[in-house]
Amino acid sequence: MPPTPPTRILGLDPGLRRTGWGVVALDGTRLIYVDCGVVTTVQSGSLAERLLELHAGISAIIERMGPTVAAVEQTFVNKDPVATLKLGQARAIALLVPAQAGLDVAEYAPNQVKKSVVGVGHAEKEQVHAMVKVLLPQSRATSPDAADALAVAITHAHFAESNSRMQALMARAR
């Protein structure tokens, strides 16, 4: 039986100005850095134009990187309802584009990402970024948005590994 190809995970940290993205490969239990970056939008553009830019940018990343699954960070409630609504619309694009490409899309709460990567659900951003560097030493995440997206992808890798182990145990129990 031929070996199973690595799972390519696209992590997305949605934002209207900057949406971070990161791709990791999960080969068995080994996590491999692939690439990361940020999709930016022109702030002077209308909301519709900015959402279209996000759609085009994420679509291009999926086409270029060939992920097999996507993971998106959930939105936390903000004090500014207008900003929360705009972030929700950017997040909708981050969910829509991978789904349009036929990918399964998982969602993770910010505290779940922090706990998965750092071990503490209320970790500071700097702690998350430091752990991303430890877990993916070859990572070239130069922006906090890209590092956060890699953290989302790492979280999915941790959960995917746990889920596959659980499925294997359940199959053996039958």
| Residue whose C-alpha is closest to residue 156's, from 2, 55, 4, 13 | 13
Q: Are 53 and 41 a contacting pair, CB within 8 Å?
A: yes
3-class SS of residue 143: coil
- Let me know if 107 is a catalytic residue: no
Which residues lie below 8 Å from residue 106, measured CB to CB, with a gap of 6+?
69, 70, 71, 72, 156, 159
For residue 158, give both structure tokens: 């941790």
Q: Which of 35, 145, 148, 161 is catalytic?
A: 145
- Let me know if 104 is a catalytic residue: no
- Let me know if 13 is a catalytic residue: yes
CA angle 36, 15, 158 (to 5 degrees): 50
For residue 161, give both structure tokens: 């590994």
Q: Which of 27, 49, 53, 73 is catalytic?
A: 73
Query: What's the CA gap between 63 and 65, in Å, rounded?
Result: 6
For residue 6, give both structure tokens: 């690595």
Catalytic residues: 13, 73, 145
